Amino acid sequence: MASTVAAAALTVTITEQITLNGTAYDQNVVKSISGIGNYSKAIHTVTGSGIAHNLAEFVPIASGSKYAVEDLRYVRVTNLDDTDRVVVSFSSTSASAGIECKPNSSAVLFDKRIGASGLAGPVSKTSTIGNVYLYNPTASGIDVELVVATV
């Protein structure tokens, strides 16, 4: 049976608006990602007490809840909590890069390659993402939204 889903472009817009001393420094960045045929959006409750959660796994061939890494074009993790932070880790077989997401903030990837270093300074090498982990340092549950778009 052939798929009846027609691929489409995903448009991501980042808008910044600020006026300082009467001067507007507004910025609008639009990124269009063509050929998206799979779009997954879900809310997950991340329990606390220092437990790491595997939110998404990227493998060579999509299977069940695992995503095909070569088809990956976009990932967004948004902390929906209004009080507590969560740490988002983008991990490969050789590195992990962590980002603290304060309440109502997001971490976004437009590529499947990530890099990290244990030393101060720039990152010079990247590798293919394998997982998205979440770490909740609080005792309460935190709701996060995961969006994954693949071709």
Q: What is the pLDDT of residues 43-97, one digit of tens each?
A: 999 988 777 899 999 999 999 999 999 999 999 999 999 999 999 999 998 888 8
pTM confidence score: 0.91
Q: What is the pLDDT of residues 24-53, one digit of tens each?
A: 999 999 999 999 999 999 999 998 877 789
HSE, side-chain direction, 13 A CA sphere, residue 65: 10
Q: Which residues contact 108 (CB under 8 A, 6 or more apart)?
A: 12, 74, 75, 76, 77
Q: Which residues contact 150 (CB under 8 A, 6 or more apart)?
A: 36, 37, 38, 62, 67, 68, 71, 72, 73
Residue spans per domain, the chain: 38-150
> What CATH number was assigned to the domain covering residues 38-150?
2.60.120
